[in-house]
Amino acid sequence: MYEVRTDLALEAREKFEEDNVEIKGVRLEEEEVAGDIKIVKVVIETENGAKAMGKPRGTYITLEAPNMIDEDEDYHREISEQLARMLASLLPEGSKDMSVLVVGLGNREVTPDALGPNVIDNIMITRHIIKEFGTYALGEEHTRKISGIVPGVMAQTGMESEEIIKGVVEETNPDCIIVVDALAARSTKRLNRTIQITDTGINPGSGVGNHRHAINQEAMGVPVIAIGIPTVVDAATIVTDTMSDLIGAMAESSRLKGLGGTLETLDEMEKYELIRELLSPHLNAFFVTPKDIDEAVKRLSYTISEGLNMTFSGSFFKQA
């Protein structure tokens, strides 16, 4: 089966819908909330489900808001609120003095990859103040010890993000970790319009080509929540999809009827082999991103950082 690169569980799930396949061990819940926001929860409950989806067991919550990238008074407070609500549902029960390490993955120098670092710039960091002056130094709203780090990318540091984070975790002992990262989607239509929140952390797929190691509870020893927004599509994906459409169109074209007939005799496997042969392997070194990505990343990073600040200030937390 031709493997499509997507970091979104929602898109991995949709592939099966297209093929009218049901997947055991994968549960879907949908919810519409005010502000034209759609929330889809994909829960992978079994190892079989995980294998079929190509993603580890756990909960993947997707917020879709078509107007997420439109200019707003400031940063789409209603989306930040839903993000805070969803995030709180995945976080461990939060005692008033729990500590959270927020990690901004990605490369600050590459616009669509700067989402994580930008988020760290705008969250309210409190750990050092509470450590020095006590839990109520900042008022009743800010009793949780929040720390943040931007580990950078391997070309800049020579180290895996996972090595840096693990070291920091061992030295500072947070109760949980929240990782923010820019994602790759399969469809350009999802770019900058979707937030995924998952309790499975970061789990780079096999064969994806990047050598990021897992940043999850198993590796870190504490719960890891990952928040991501797709900001790029792999160049190979966009080309594959359009070629697939072309073959489909030929099969249906009246003008190209005979041709369509011939193509229909190709099975899926043969079609994808044809495409793969034509795909320059060097396309793997390229990504596709919207021309207004600078404005989008700037606005989206506020939406996330405000959602995090709301979460940490406590109103959305389950109290221990």
Q: For the CB of residue 227, give the shortest distance to its own copies in the complex, in Å.
A: 19
Which residues lie below 8 Å from residue 14, measured CB to CB, with a gap of 6+?
A: none
Closer by beta carbon to its own copies, 50 or else 288 = 288
Kindly tell me the burial class for residue 179, based on how many C-beta atoms sit within 10 Å of its own C-beta (0-12, 13-18, 19 or more).
buried
239 counts as binding its own copies under rule CB under 8 A: yes
Distance of CA 119 to the CA centre of its chain: 14
Pick the piece of the chain touching its own copies (CB under 8 A) from 53-61, 83-91, 148-156, 175-183: 148-156
**The 58-64 sheet, strands edge to edge:** 26-33, 37-44, 58-64, 194-198, 224-234, 176-185, 99-104, 145-149
Judged by beta carbon, residue 122 or residue 217, the one nearer its own copies is 122
How many residues of this chain interact with its own copies, rule: CB under 8 A? 77
If the CB atoms of residues 30 and 132 are measured against its own copies, the closer one turns out to be 132
- Is position 70 an interface residue for its own copies (rule: CB under 8 A)? no
* Residue 319 DSSP code: B
Q: Which residues have a Cβ under 8 Å from the Cβ of 142 and sit 6 or more positions away?
A: 124, 126, 130, 312, 313
The smaller minimum CB distance to its own copies, of residues 207 and 282, is found at 282
Tokens of 166: 């693990």
In the range 156-215, which residues lie near its own copies by CB under 8 A?
Answer: 156-160, 163-164, 166-172, 188-189, 211
Cα of first residue to Cα of last residue in the chain, in angstroms, is: 46
Smallest distance from its own copies to CB 27, Å: 32
**How far apart are CB 73 and its own copies at their closest, in Å?**
9
137 binds its own copies (CB under 8 A): no
Give the nearest distance from C-beta 249 to its own copies in angstroms. Answer: 6
Interface region with its own copies, contact rule CB under 8 A, candidates 16-24, 58-66, 84-92, 291-299:
291-299
Given 10, 63, 149, 182, the residue binding its own copies (CB under 8 A):
149
Shortest distance (Å) from residue 171 CB to its own copies:
4
Nearest to 179 by CA among 139, 219, 140: 219
- CB 224, min distance to its own copies, A: 16
Query: Beta strand 37-44 with 26-33: parallel, antiparallel or unpaired?
Result: antiparallel
Q: Which of residues 8-67 bind its own copies (CB under 8 A)?
A: none
State the virtual CA torsion across 81, 85, 87, 90 in degrees, nearest 10: 180
